[in-house]
Amino acid sequence: MFHVSGFMNNDVCIFCKIIKHEIPTDFIYEDERVVAFPDIKPSAPIHYLIVPKEHIQSIMYLKNNHQEIISKMIFTAKMLAEKLGLSGYKLIFNVGREGGQIIDHLHLHLLGGWDKKN
Ligand code: 5GP
Ligand code: ZN
């Protein structure tokens, strides 16, 4: 299946299970490389996670051949923000435990929907 980069086996990874449709999730977007779905515990009025189908543990585990997937994640976030009508937003990668990363499958947070003056 997908190439595994990093420590965790993708058989036990919750995001891999979501990607394989083993856990019911409302996808806002899916293509052959990435998926996007709402965060279960939103930190903003609008909070989506953009997730590559390939199991990569985090930004720390990126290899040179991952440049395209990172670019794809950022362009997916941009496309979703436009589709959602966001006039401003935050894109966040939490990296490693010290960086606040809880799920060991690379993901980009798209946060927005606050009052316009934020
Ligand atoms: P991290 O802290 O690793 O950057 O963010 C992981 C995010 O995944 C958290 O914001 C958390 O609420 C979200 N999350 C954890 N488990 C699930 C899940 O099963 N489904 C969804 N949709 N989001 C999850
Ligand atoms: Zn995974």
Nearest to 50 by CA among 33, 28, 35: 35
| Confidence grade of residue 115 (pLDDT, cut at 50, 70, 90) | confident
Please tell me the CATH superfamily of domain 4-112, with its number: HIT-like (3.30.428.10)
Q: What is the mean pLDDT of residues 80-108?
A: 98
Counting from 1 in the atom list of ligand 1, the atom nearest the Cα of 25 is: 22
Look at ligand 1, atom 24, and give the residue with the nearest C-alpha: 40
9-13, 44-48, 100-104: lowest mean pLDDT where? 9-13
Q: Which residues are catalytic?
A: 107
**Domain locations in the chain as residue ranges:** 4-112
Counting from 1 in the atom list of ligand 1, the atom nearest the Cα of 100 is: 2
> Can you tell me the distance from the alpha carbon of 106 to that of 117, in angstroms, rounded to the nearest whole number?
31
